[in-house]
Amino acid sequence: MELKDNQISLIIDRVLKEMNNRNLNIEISEGIFNNMDEAINAAEEAQFKLSQMSIEEREKLIVSMRKAILENSMNIASLCVKETGMGRVDHKYLKMKLVAEKTPGTEVLKTDAYTGDKGLTLVEMAPYGVIGAIAPCTNPAATIACNSIGMIASGNSVVFSPHPSAVQCSLTTIRILNKAIREAGGPENLITSIKEPSIQSTNDMINHPKVRMLVATGGPGIVKIVLSSGKKAIGAGAGNPPVVVDETADIKKAARDIIKGCTFDNNLPCIAEKEVIVVEDVYENLISEMKKDGNVYELNEEEIEKLARIVLVEKIENGKKKYTINKSYVGKDAFIILQSIGINVSKEIECLICRVDNSHPFVQEELMMPILPIVKVKSFNDALKLAVEDEHGNRHTAMIHSKNVDNLTKMARAINTTIFVKNAPSYAGIGFGGEGHTTFTIAGPTGEGLTNAATFTRKRRCVMVDSFRII
């Protein structure tokens, strides 16, 4: 029988697909599976093996994971930027390094003990079992690495559902971590995922009976879904962090810190400075100081209008004008964003600043781009009022630059965010240049705050009556 050209093509495609599938099946030992059932079942088996290990042995796995993250940080950072088209390689490298060095391990797992006339009671931190975790495209590798350390340190295994636009960098990170775990004597498949994640596979993970806890790092939509699952869920949602500058601030330092925070990884972190609210006495001085280093470009009114039409998508809902961000520009370099409106500048330009009213969509929408709107107000009280409004009740992150203790205290109480940074760049709030541990899952909506190994545990009480009382 003679085959036609289109039939031959179909056969070749089928053979190649089968060969690719066989090659991918080889990777199963690295934690990558064809579907969620396989991934979850493997993670369940791995978690049982982990439960037979001592905490000391568990910590050896964490040490090996940290080493692997450090050794592969630059390659992973490059892959993230190449695949997603977002952020900066140098800053993603710093985030991976931060994860390796400042993500807590087993040391945060504490046991409470109560003794008295009736004996001894222990309250211990125990694992949930298999955790289902959703990772974002903005910080894919850092989130996966950070969550993996915390979840395994607390005795769990984890099944990840990566963002479809960050699959390869996510799966590469998982493979590297699994290899490090095995080399340290741990079980295979403590961290799993599937080769082609989708909305359906994410739903399968959320609803799977063997998944006992859900962790969503992403936008409000996915957080709402996991909170509606009926399972223990941790939600790390969106933010729109404001920064207030009053007349007592060290303006030179404030200007430098704000630009550093805003431009870190091209403003992708949800903690980054998204809008600045400045009292009028220091408004011009602050803008002048921002422009001194040569990496800041100030947009004029015409350029602001042109850029708004490019980076925002306008729509009408219930007769009202609404905006969403144009995802094509999320995490892009400032000079590339400027090219979209026909302006060519040096690649050294890292931040685009603009003078706008507080109602401007650049202020009200979380852009996740190195575009920084600056609003002028008469007094600190006016600034605080707008900051609370602009944060939109996300309870995520806010910053202030001030030497007035009363103002510092007043804003901390009024804005009530999970992270509140005083006189420093926003990233000090996750331990980069500031004290305290790091995380890339900041649970504002569900209240756990900066997550760590202790967050991924359930408390169990063990009671012995009349015995082991020594007083």
Please write the tens of the pLDDT for every residue from 115-129: 998 999 999 999 999
**Nearest CA-CA partner of 157 in 76, 305, 52, 251:** 52
pLDDT of residue 92: 98
- pLDDT at residue 63 is higher than 50: yes
Q: Where does the pLDDT of residue 111 fall: very low under 50, low under 70, confident under 90, or very high at 90 and above? A: very high
pLDDT of residue 26: 35
The per-residue pLDDT of the chain, averaged, comes to: 93
Cα pseudo-dihedral 447, 450, 454, 458, rounded to 10:
20
pLDDT of residue 207: 96
pLDDT of residue 20: 44
pLDDT of residue 8: 41
- The residues, ordered by sequence, that sit 6+ positions from 382 with a Cβ below 8 Å of its Cβ are 279
pLDDT of residue 316: 83
**Residue 430: what are its φ and ψ, rounded to 5°?**
-115, 25
pLDDT of residue 25: 38
pLDDT digits 0-9 by tens, 18-55: 444 443 333 445 899 999 999 999 999 999 999 999 99
pLDDT digits 0-9 by tens, 331-387: 999 999 999 999 999 999 999 999 999 999 999 999 999 999 999 999 999 999 999
Token reading at 17: 């697909």
pLDDT of residue 29: 57
pLDDT digits 0-9 by tens, 168-197: 999 999 999 999 999 999 999 999 999 999
pLDDT digits 0-9 by tens, 247-283: 999 999 999 999 999 999 999 999 999 999 999 999 9
Mean pLDDT calculated for residue range 418-424: 98
Contact 149, 62 (CB under 8 A): yes
Rounded distance between C-alpha atoms, residue 462 and residue 113, angstroms: 10
- pLDDT at residue 4 is higher than 90: no
Cβ neighbours of 423 (radius 10 Å): 16
pLDDT of residue 21: 44
Report pTM.
0.90
* pLDDT above 90 coverage of the chain, percent: 88
Contact 96, 76 (CB under 8 A): yes
Mean pLDDT calculated for residue range 445-464: 95
- The residues, ordered by sequence, that sit 6+ positions from 3 with a Cβ below 8 Å of its Cβ are 11
**Nearest CA-CA partner of 340 in 311, 366, 368:** 311
Q: Where does the pLDDT of residue 466 fall: very low under 50, low under 70, confident under 90, or very high at 90 and above? A: confident
Mean pLDDT calculated for residue range 206-234: 95
Q: Where does the pLDDT of residue 79 fall: very low under 50, low under 70, confident under 90, or very high at 90 and above? A: very high
* pLDDT above 70 coverage of the chain, percent: 94
**Nearest CA-CA partner of 254 in 243, 263, 241, 270:** 243
Question: What SS3 class is residue 190?
Answer: coil
